[in-house]
Amino acid sequence: MNYWTLALTSLSSAICSIPFSSLQVQPQPDAKMCDQTFLAITFGPCDSCGLNKPLMNIYLKNEPINYCSLCVELMACQGLATGETIHTLKAESESLKTKLEEERAKLHDVELHQVAEKVEALGQFVMKTRRTLKGHGNKVLCMDWCRDKRRIVSSSQDGKVIVWDAYTTNKEHAVTMPCTWVMACAYAPSGCAVACGGLDNKCSVYPLSLDKNENLSAKKKSVAMHTNYLSSCSFTNSDMQGCDKKANVWDMRSGQNVQSFETHESDINSVKYYPSGDAFATGSDDATCRLYDLRADREVAIYSKESIIFGASSVDFSLSGRLLFAGYNDYTINVWDVLKGTRVAILFGHENRVSTVRVSPDGTAFCSGSWDNTLRIWA
């Protein structure tokens, strides 16, 4: 099997080496975009034929190139052996995929909830809102905790990034971005900087200081440019995510996709690693959350109820990994027993869809952000 045989094991013969960042482009005008829909396409001269066409951003031997779809197809046909065609290679890749699924099914001998039958059930679970942070003028889209367990950074559709003191609910810093829909934000592990971005197509880092009157915009540094909007950003030891039905695990050193899981029936909105790093959870528009074990190479649990019909927008684990917090589009937060697969609590308080949930670094509380323009701290 040559290089192009391997290439054809992806969704098409042309896009096996699309970089991870490009998986987050091409937003579709669906309910998640609410009252603002948009579509951005990379358009320009093809590096092969030189014609101005819609381009595919791909990598060959770690070198970025921009080819039109026709040139990518022609490139994929180069080096084929006698009698080989794209159709025969596709058939071969489908056959190999079927064999892999059969081998994976042989190892599927027991469900997670069956293994956990002898584990003691969780007792009464009570949480309530301890703080409500008000200050954004539109939907809260993302938030992140500082490792000091006290400060929070949030971003909103109002174009602002705010750093909060979660104890006092005071705003410590506020930055107005050059665009609305600031869809991503993250706190640096040191607590000395925040990163953010959205429809400006770039990731910007703002150093923080004790001077609350300092002009943070003057110290802004743009560290990454994209051809489309930024949907997620993180510092080292955090997670990243895309938006389709497939969950992929990537080797950051080689840039290769090392594992894929495709059991969701709709777009995946959130991914979060289990505290041990051996598994991860996903939240999807199909109204389910799922747990995937990297060692077993398969899905091991589904968290759902017939009464839940709205999508899950964000997930996060408790510090021990026993609980999974999930924010939903029906304005609620569901708390799941990871081992038994049962719902142990449902939290009410937000007045619009819950867009993000994050557990504090010490595990004593968690924060939720919503399209009702507020953040709530629960404990």
**Position 180: which residue type?**
T
Adjacent-strand bridge partners of 302: 290
Give the chain's domains with CATH numbers. 43-77 (no CATH), 129-378 (2.130.10.10)
Return the half-sphere exposure (C-beta side, CA atoms, 13 A cut-off) of residue 71: 18
Please state whether beta strands 184-187 and 193-197 pair in parallel, antiparallel, or not at all (unpaired): antiparallel
Q: Where do we find the tokens 């027991």?
A: 110
Give the integer Cα–Cα distance in Å for 73 and 89. Answer: 14
How many C-beta atoms lie closer than 10 Å to residue 330's C-beta?
16
Tokens of 301: 């649990």
Give the integer Cα–Cα distance in Å for 341 and 346. Answer: 14
Q: Where do we find the tokens 């924060």?
A: 367
**Position 73: which residue type?**
E
Residues 278-281: contacts with CB under 8 Å, at least 24 apart: 280/239, 280/247, 280/249, 281/315, 281/317, 281/324, 281/338
Instruction: Please answer whether residues 105 and 83 qualify as being in contact, where contact means their C-beta atoms are separated by less than 8 angstroms.
Output: no
Tokens of 23: 């998986």
User: How far is residue 238 from each of residues 136, 232, 378, measured CA to CA in Å?
Assistant: 25, 11, 22
Adjacent-strand bridge partners of 291: 281, 301
Give the integer Cα–Cα distance in Å for 80 and 61. Answer: 19
CA dihedral 62, 64, 68, 74 (to 10 degrees): -30
Instruction: Please answer whether residues 13 and 76 qualify as being in contact, where contact means their C-beta atoms are separated by less than 8 angstroms.
Output: yes
Instruction: Please state the separation of Cα 82 from the chain's center in Å.
Output: 43
Give the integer Cα–Cα distance in Å for 46 and 252. Answer: 28
- Burial string for 4-16 (b: 16+ CB within 10 Å, else e) reads bbebbbeeebbbb
Nearest to 136 by CA among 80, 181, 103: 181
Instruction: Please answer whether residues 356 and 369 qualify as being in contact, where contact means their C-beta atoms are separated by less than 8 angstroms.
Output: yes
- Burial string for 230-249 (b: 16+ CB within 10 Å, else e) reads bbbbbeeeeebbbbeeebbe
| pTM of the predicted structure, to 2 decimals | 0.68
Q: What is the full per-residue pLDDT of the chain (379 aa) written as tens digits?
A: 433 333 333 333 333 333 333 333 333 333 333 333 333 346 788 888 988 888 877 777 667 788 888 888 787 777 677 777 778 888 888 999 898 888 888 877 788 888 888 888 888 888 999 999 999 999 999 999 999 999 999 999 999 999 999 999 999 999 999 888 899 899 988 888 898 988 888 888 888 876 666 777 777 887 767 677 777 777 755 444 445 577 777 765 666 777 888 889 988 888 888 999 899 999 999 999 999 998 888 899 999 999 999 999 999 999 999 999 999 999 999 999 999 999 999 999 999 999 999 999 999 999 999 999 999 999 9
Instruction: Please state the separation of Cα 183 from the chain's center in Å.
Output: 11
Give the integer Cα–Cα distance in Å for 206 and 38. Answer: 27
Give the integer Cα–Cα distance in Å for 369 and 355. Answer: 6
Nearest to 333 by CA among 341, 320, 343, 322: 343
